Amino acid sequence: MNGWEHPSGCTASWEAEGAWMGHWIASFGFVVIGINTNTPTDWDTARGTQLLAALDYLTQRSPVRDRVDPQRLGVMGHSMGGGGAISAAQRRPSLKAAVPFAPASFSQDLSGVQVPTMIMGARDDGTVTPASLDRLYATLPTTTEGAFVELSSGGHGFPTWGKGNRERHPTGPVELQRRAQPAVDSRIRALQAKI
């Protein structure tokens, strides 16, 4: 994935909580750019704008632009940054993937998303609850590839576990629930077999 925003609780930084995952994803050959939000009070749509600006910089002006395929971009984010990933996917249907972790997406739904989207959350997340993710995922059009993964534990901060023994297993502990269209479901099984 070529974009990530991680402002957990609207105040965390990429360096403190998300950078571990950037290095791990890059080890598979992806070019990764990690960003912080402009201000801790930016909502999901502002963060989507920031993610798209980061992708534009990466593909048009960055020193590594010749190593990035502008036709194969994706976005990830956690919490309000996950809402930003949804916002970016709504506005740029050419993206190849969106992976919002526990997305705080209070001002939008997925009804306009055409980008393959995998939402992840944790059963014990009291900030972005499984019920809110169920409602959000239900708005994804049936014509859009999608998956919803609910982890059995991890709370709202599950994407920040990389500093411990879960670094090579970013999907956290045992998966509790998965709802996916058949093509995505087989990809998830293939990913699970690798980790």
pLDDT tens digits in sequence order for the chain, 195 residues long: 334 444 344 556 777 667 777 888 888 888 888 888 888 788 888 999 999 999 999 999 999 999 899 999 999 998 888 999 999 999 999 999 999 999 987 778 999 999 999 999 998 999 999 999 999 999 999 999 999 988 888 888 888 765 544 444 444 333 333 344 444 444 444 444 443
Pairing relationship of beta strands 34-35 and 4-5 according to DSSP bridges: parallel
HSE value, Cβ hemisphere, 13 Å, CA-based, for 190: 6
Measured in Å, how far apart are the chain's first and last C-alpha atoms?
18
Q: Residue 17 carries which side chain, given as an amino acid letter?
A: E
**Whole-number pLDDT of residue 161:** 67
Question: Known catalytic residues?
Answer: 79, 125, 156
- Which two three-digit tokens encode residue 117? 């989207």
pLDDT, position 5:
41
pLDDT score, position 114: 96
pTM of the model: 0.79
Q: Please enumerate in sequence order all residues whose Cβ is within 8 A of that of 25, keeping only pairs 6 or more positions apart, or say none.
A: 1, 32
Q: What's the CA dihedral at 129, 93, 141, 1 to 10 degrees?
A: -40
